[in-house]
């Protein structure tokens, strides 16, 4: 029970202040007892004080709902607190005089402590107003921050969608051209390519709705894409995929590998009349997914082609939007080998 109360008070500072005021009121009751004031009158005095504090605190809360200044201490707040604390003290004075008619000790206490109680009530209401101002200020800051985060998320999602759509027309046009070329010479391959392309596009629409998927699902999608490319390029294209078992359920941004492999096929075959072997190595490292796509390339031939590196640059932008980091994609060129290395943090 104590833990529950502690948790509730810790989450709500205003509730904590109300709890402290209750303890203060109990202390006020025992102070009156120590001054030889009868228990009945001490109880009436302390309970009435707590009721007045609660009542005027509620009014302050309602006022603060519609009025919020830039600072907790200002003329309006001080004026309201001054009036409320004076009204409370006057009420307690009149009420105490009524219930303590036959108790000279209590009446003497009321007359001698008027200004002290006024100051104490003033400080209490000042604390309440200050806490109300802090809570409202923090709430406004939190709401503004959440709106900013949501706006950035929507912008990032829109940008990622645009980047993703930039890949599809290039691949789609190439596939349609290949189908057109195969219709007469290899109608069965053309038919298979149409079926695979249909499944590919259907899956693309479904996957584009997901922010993250498992590496296993991403590879299933990638294999469907590769089945189309293998029909286009025949025996010239070979893909070697090596995946650690621990990585299959790890997450990565949806539809991330296809444009990287497409880039490897495009520039690996450019100016190359021989076979192309693309290797995809997927491992885990320090709670991160590491993907390395490697293909052979001729630096002199590739450097003369147009649009080199556009796809990888888009991937880097996508990762930057999602993870707020610019070091998740690395390009390594060594001895006619081109490697794109991805590091995907796991949340």
Phi and psi at 337, nearest 5°, equal -120, 130
How does pLDDT run across 182-208, given as a tens digit for each residue? 787 788 888 888 888 888 777 776 665
The 288-296 sheet, strands edge to edge: 237-243, 276-284, 288-296, 337-345, 329-334
pLDDT of residue 170: 64
CATH code at 191? 3.30.565.10
CA angle 344, 261, 341 (to 5 degrees): 35
For the record, the structure tokens of 116 come out as: 């002290």
Which tokens go with 229?
């490319």
Shared-domain flag, residues 6 and 118: yes
Per-residue model confidence (pLDDT) at position 90: 86
Confirm if 233 and 194 have CB atoms less than 8 A apart.
no
Residue 272: which domain range?
Answer: 186-345
- Same structural domain for residues 336 and 190? yes
Which two structure tokens, joined as six digits, stand for 135?
């809570």
Residue where one domain finishes, among candidates 88, 120, 146:
146
For 25, residues 6+ apart whose C-beta sits below 8 A from its C-beta are: 46, 47, 49, 50, 53
Same structural domain, 13 and 101: yes
Clarify whether residues 211 and 81 are in a common domain: no
Under a CB-based contact definition with an 8 Å cutoff, are residues 122 and 84 in contact? no
Contact 211, 254 (CB under 8 A): yes
Asked if 137 and 255 sit in the same domain, the reply is no
> Which pLDDT belongs to residue 337?
87
pLDDT at position 291 is 94
Residues 13 and 137 in one domain: yes
Digit-coded pLDDT (tens) for 38-63: 777 778 778 888 888 888 888 887 87
In whole angstroms, what is the distance from residue 43 CA to residue 50 CA? 11
Tokens describing residue 177? 């051209």
Integer angstrom CA distances of residue 221 from 289, 294, 339: 18, 19, 21
Distance between CA atoms of residues 233 and 186, nearest Å: 13
Beta strands in the chain (DSSP E): 212-214, 237-243, 251-253, 276-284, 288-296, 329-334, 337-345
Cα gap 231→219, rounded to integer Å: 18
Residue 153 falls inside a structural domain: no
**Would you say residue 157 lies in a domain?**
no
Judge if 219 and 291 occupy the same domain: yes
**Cα 108 to Cα 188: distance, rounded to the nearest angstrom:** 110
Residue 38 falls inside a structural domain: yes
Q: Quick one: tokens of 150?
A: 């949501």
In a domain, 161, yes or no: no
Assess whether 190 and 140 both reside in one domain: no
Bridge-based pairing of strands 288-296 and 276-284 is: antiparallel
Measured CA to CA, the distance from residue 161 to residue 163 in angstroms comes to 5
Same domain, 208 and 341: yes
Asked if residue 216 is part of any domain, the answer here is yes
* Predicted pLDDT of residue 209: 53
Q: Can you give the pLDDT at residue 157?
A: 67
End of a domain among 98, 121, 146?
Answer: 146
So what's the pLDDT on residue 289? 92
The total of structural domains in the chain comes to 2
Are residues 203 and 116 both part of a single domain? no
Identify the pLDDT of residue 151.
Answer: 77
pLDDT at 159: 61
Kindly report, residue by residue over 210-238, the tens digit of the pLDDT.
578 899 988 988 888 888 888 888 788 88
**C-alpha angle with apex 311: 245 to 259, nearest 5 degrees?**
35
Give the number of C-alpha atoms closer than 13 A to the C-alpha of residue 174, restricted to the C-beta side.
15
* End-of-domain residue from the set 88, 115, 146: 146
Check residue 341 and give its pLDDT: 93
* Average pLDDT, consecutive stretches of 10 residues, N- to C-terminus, the chain (347 residues): 44 64 78 77 80 83 74 77 86 78 76 84 84 80 83 68 56 77 80 82 65 87 86 85 90 86 82 82 89 84 52 81 86 87 88
Q: Can you give the pLDDT at residue 309?
A: 55
């Amino acid at each position: 029970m104590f833990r529950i109360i502690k948790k509730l008070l810790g989450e709500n500072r205003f509730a904590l202040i109300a709890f402290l005021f209750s303890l203060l009121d109990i202390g006020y009751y025992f102070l009156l007892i120590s001054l030889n004031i009868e228990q009945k009158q001490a109880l009436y005095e302390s309970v009435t004080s707590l009721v007045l504090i609660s009542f005027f605190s509620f009014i302050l809360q309602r006022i603060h709902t519609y009025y919020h200044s830039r600072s907790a201490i200002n003329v309006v707040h001080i004026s309201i607190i001054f009036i409320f604390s004076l009204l409370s003290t006057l009420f307690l004075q009149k009420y105490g005089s009524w219930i303590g008619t036959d108790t000279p000790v209590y009446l003497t206490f009321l007359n001698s402590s008027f200004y002290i109680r006024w100051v104490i009530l003033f400080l209490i209401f000042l604390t309440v107003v200050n806490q109300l101002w802090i809570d409202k200020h923090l709430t406004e800051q939190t709401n503004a921050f959440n709106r900013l985060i949501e706006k950035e998320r929507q912008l990032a999602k829109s940008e990622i969608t645009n980047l993703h759509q930039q890949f599809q027309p290039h691949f789609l046009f190439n596939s349609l051209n290949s189908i057109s070329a195969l219709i007469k010479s290899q109608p069965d391959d053309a038919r298979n390519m149409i079926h695979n392309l249909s499944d590919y596009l259907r899956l693309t629409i479904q996957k584009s709705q997901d922010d993250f998927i498992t590496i296993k699902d991403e590879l299933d999608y990638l294999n469907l894409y590769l089945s189309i490319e293998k029909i286009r390029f025949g025996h010239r294209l070979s893909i070697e995929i090596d995946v650690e078992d621990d990585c299959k359920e790890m997450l990565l941004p949806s539809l991330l590998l296809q444009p990287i492999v497409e880039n490897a096929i495009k520039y690996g075959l450019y100016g190359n009349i021989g076979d192309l072997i693309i290797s995809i190595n997927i491992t885990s490292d320090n709670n991160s997914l590491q993907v390395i796509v490697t293909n052979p390339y001729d630096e002199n031939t590739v450097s003369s082609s147009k649009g080199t590196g556009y796809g990888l640059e888009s991937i880097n932008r996508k990762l930057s939007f999602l993870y707020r980091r610019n070091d998740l994609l690395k390009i390594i060129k060594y001895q006619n080998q081109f490697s794109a290395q991805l590091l995907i943090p796991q949340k």
